[in-house]
């Protein structure tokens, strides 16, 4: 069996040792070398051509984002960022994902994290997924919100609910879909992205600057309205209440045994209980695992419209593939067609 060759780049000697020990505890992973700054990391990446690079953000001589740019341009290595659970860490990590990083691991305790070994299972899983990930060129998405007053759609025009589920590779993929949805779309849109609670607010703000629709992080009681994209808050499941004023968000920790929180399966099943399934459009995008696949099958059985991203564009073809194989996808399409598919379905009624 061919091993996954990994280069670990981090300015902390402790982190280099910890990450090496974690990764080499998996039989199929080999750490071919380590580097203590960006310049050394680039030189070793060019010489060794590793399959995956784990990359710290804050380093001397050459920072992580600059090194990432060179890695994307000059190598075929997949990059997994190792960032801190702070607002600053979130902003830089989201920029890294836009530049071409496949995924990230958020350290719980700052730059030198004694808790990193608690994340061993996540680190190994993300490196495995990254090694299989599709390489795609970085794409800068410019803000395309139109000048002048926004188009306002009355809440009564909320005729559809769109639920989008996504994981690994999600931020880049969503930037290829959400900015191209028109502001007068008569649908409420909910996005369930696997992401820590410290990151989802920054993620919503980033998307808000790029989209014609308004983008907000979910809060308890927030009303679903046309023209607004709601990003599920990290650390909570997003469910819904049907009230006299319409559909509103409900943040909950239950079920506690779900593999992810937020979970696509949990949100999609909650949507089917609170809203007419025949008026729900579910979209399952790139990500490892199968979160959302079972709920897609159920929604399609109950008359909903289901779309799965095709292998052609999926960075990690895990979640959409599971939905397709189980018969949960009515339509299979590349990411660049999905905005049009959603709009056409909503307009057609």
Q: How far is CA 11 from CA 8, 68, 80, in A?
A: 10, 15, 16
The active-site residue out of 56, 103, 291, 335 is 291
d(CA 236, CA 137) in angstroms, rounded, equals: 32
d(CA 5, CA 14) in angstroms, rounded, equals: 20
Largest CA distance in the chain: 64
Please, are residues 342 and 181 in contact by the beta-carbon 8 Å criterion? yes
208 is catalytic: no
The active-site residue out of 113, 167, 202, 263 is 167
Helix (H, G, I), strand (E, B) or coil at 217: strand
Token readout for 87 is 């607002």
248 is catalytic: no
Token readout for 10 is 């981090």
Please, are residues 102 and 130 in contact by the beta-carbon 8 Å criterion? yes
Token readout for 117 is 């070994």
Residue 282 bridge partners (DSSP): 163, 306
The active-site residue out of 10, 12, 194, 263 is 194
d(CA 213, CA 229) in angstroms, rounded, equals: 7
Q: What is the DSSP string of 36-73?
A: SSHHHHHHHHHHH--SEEEEESS-SSS-HHHHHHHHHH
Residue with tokens 């992580």: 64
Q: How far is CA 188 from CA 76, 223, 308, in A?
A: 39, 9, 19
Residue 193 bridge partners (DSSP): 166
Q: Which residues contact 20 (CB under 8 A, 6 or more apart)?
A: 8, 31, 34
291 is catalytic: yes
Q: Is 252 left (phi over 0), alpha (psi -120 to 50) or beta?
A: beta
Question: Which residues are the active-site residues?
Answer: 167, 194, 291
């Amino acid at each position: 069996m061919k091993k996954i060759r990994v280069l670990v780049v981090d300015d902390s000697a402790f982190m280099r040792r910890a990450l090496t020990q974690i990764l080499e505890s998996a039989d199929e992973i080999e750490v071919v070398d380590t580097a203590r700054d960006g310049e050394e990391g680039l030189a070793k990446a060019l010489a060794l051509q590793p399959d995956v690079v784990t990359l710290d953000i804050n380093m001397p001589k050459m920072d992580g984002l600059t090194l990432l740019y060179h890695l994307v341009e000059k190598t075929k290595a997949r990059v997994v960022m190792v960032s801190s659970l702070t607002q600053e860490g979130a902003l830089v990590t989201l920029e890294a994902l836009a530049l071409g990083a496949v995924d990230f691991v958020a350290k719980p305790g700052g730059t030198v994290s004694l808790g990193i070994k608690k994340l061993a299972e996540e680190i190994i899983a993300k490196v495995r997924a990254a090694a299989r990930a599709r390489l795609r060129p970085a794409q800068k998405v410019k803000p395309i919100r139109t000048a002048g007053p926004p188009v306002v759609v009355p809440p009564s025009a909320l005729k559809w609910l769109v639920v989008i589920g996504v994981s690994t590779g999600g931020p880049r993929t969503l930037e290829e879909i959400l900015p191209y949805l028109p502001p007068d779309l008569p649908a409420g849109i909910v996005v369930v992205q696997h992401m820590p609670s410290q990151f989802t607010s920054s993620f919503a703000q980033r998307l808000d600057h790029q989209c014609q629709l308004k983008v907000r992080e979910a809060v308890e009681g927030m009303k679903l309205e046309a023209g607004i994209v709601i990003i599920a808050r990290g650390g909570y499941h997003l469910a819904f209440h049907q009230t006299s004023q319409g559909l509103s968000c409900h943040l909950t920790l239950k079920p506690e045994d779900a593999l992810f929180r937020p979970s696509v399966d949990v949100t999609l099943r909650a949507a089917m209980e609170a809203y007419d399934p025949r008026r729900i459009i579910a979209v399952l995008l790139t990500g490892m695992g199968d979160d959302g696949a079972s709920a897609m099958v159920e929604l399609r059985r109950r008359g909903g419209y289901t779309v799965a991203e095709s292998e052609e564009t999926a960075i990690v073809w895990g979640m959409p593939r599971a939905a397709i194989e189980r018969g949960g996808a009515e339509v299979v399409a590349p990411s660049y067609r999905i905005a049009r598919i959603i709009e056409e379905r909503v307009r057609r009624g």
